[in-house]
Amino acid sequence: MGYALYPGPYLAHVGGGGRIELKGLVYGGDDGGELVQSVDPSRPLRRSTSTNGAGETPRVRAAMAAEAVGVAQRVLELGIEHAKTRMQFGKPIGVYQAVSHQLTNTYTDVELARSLVYWAAWCVAEEDEQAAVAAAAAKAFAAEAAVAACERSIQVHGGTGFTWEHPLHRFYKRALWLEGLGSRPSELRGEVADAVLGVTVPV
């Protein structure tokens, strides 16, 4: 297959100072903190020993949401490619509803997430007053969409999707990493509800 996920320092540099610190965990930089087991080994996390580096800013959330959309888009492409080429009973498996509906749901999720990410990126770039709510909404939806896209694509691929030789497991790990780092989607939706309703909504 030849696909690899770029572990990339870019996410840490988005936060400034080459590191992001979220809820006592640090990504990027090396402050000597204890290494923490991570679902995505290409993105090591450490326990924080200082308070240097960006926290969970709208800019960081928007960047994480953008990466989640990229993951979801790529696994959708892999699923579509497989559904078009894998034959079963003399037909491509994509003609069967159990496969086509999974890919259709993923497509709609990816496009909705992409719109939220564009909104969040614009708000951050323009320093708009809605940047915080836009970034929270984008990360909440895009991270969950990426995880769901990976799970659906693995289902479409059948047994092949679970093997180490196929790249899907790397994308799945990255999606889970993005979903779990910082505030969880349910917490982010709570922030959006607080902003929209103007009252504190229990999560």
> Residue 21 in 3-state DSSP?
strand
Q: What is the mean pLDDT of residues 40-59?
A: 77
Give the total residue count for the chain: 203
> Residue 91 in 3-state DSSP?
strand
| pLDDT > 60? residue 2 | no
What is the pTM (predicted TM-score) of this model? Answer: 0.87
CA atoms within 13 A on the CB side of 197: 10
Confidence grade of residue 6 (pLDDT, cut at 50, 70, 90): low
pLDDT tens for 158-180 read: 877 778 888 899 999 999 999 99
pLDDT tens for 97-122 read: 787 889 999 999 999 999 999 999 99
Closest by CA position to 120, among listed 53, 179, 73, 188: 188
Q: Tell me how far apart the alpha carbons of residues 67 and 24 are, in angstroms, rounded to a whole number.
A: 22
